[in-house]
Structure 1
């Protein structure tokens, strides 16, 4: 999701196969948080709508890794 945010903010070619793949993966991971924030600034909207799930997944992964390590 972070890669999609960077590609979007750098105005990557939306017709490129790799960019489409990254966007598709980000969409499938961020389905639950899509359009939580509706702002006029498109770049900020994309950063928040995809950044929030990325932060949540990072936190959950960190917690799971801590549990596994303690076993």
Structure 2
């Protein structure tokens, strides 16, 4: 018997996982846009940047490397990883209750 956690039976757990994954997706998308030097005047790029600034506001300038690409990956990647980790952990706890 598999001990895999299933979120389909609990709506609250599913909502938490979806929100955490969307937050991580937005942050990951911004990292991709920044690394590829996307046009910041574009509406999509601008919206993703604004959302990522809000989502990663607590980690702004946490890392201050000289290499801009590394600074972007760390300052936006850490929140993305934490949102997924904490979101899935919280959803698993809710599911077990």
**What is the TM-score when the length of structure 2 is the normalising length?**
0.70
SS in 1 for 2:38: coil
Paired residues for 1:2-17 under 5 Å: 2-17=28-43
SS of the residue 1:68 aligns to: helix
TM-score w.r.t. structure 1 length?
0.94
| Structure whose alpha-carbon radius of gyration is higher | 2
Alpha-carbon distance in 2 for matches of 1:4, 1:39: 18
Gaps of 5+ in 1: none
Higher relative contact order (CA closer than 8 Å, sequence separation 6+): 2
Superimposed CA distance per residue, residues 13-33 of structure 1 (whole angstroms, 9 cap, x where no aligned partner): 111011000000000010110
Give the Cα separation in 1 of the matches to 2:66 and 2:94. 42
Runs of 4+, deviation exceeding 2 Å? none
Other-structure match for 2:57 = 31
Kindly tell me the number of residue pairs found equivalent between the two proteins.
71
1:4-59 residue CA offsets vs partner (Å, 9 max, x unmatched): 00111111111101100000000001011000111111011000000011111111
- Structure 2's unaligned 5+ residue stretches are 1-26
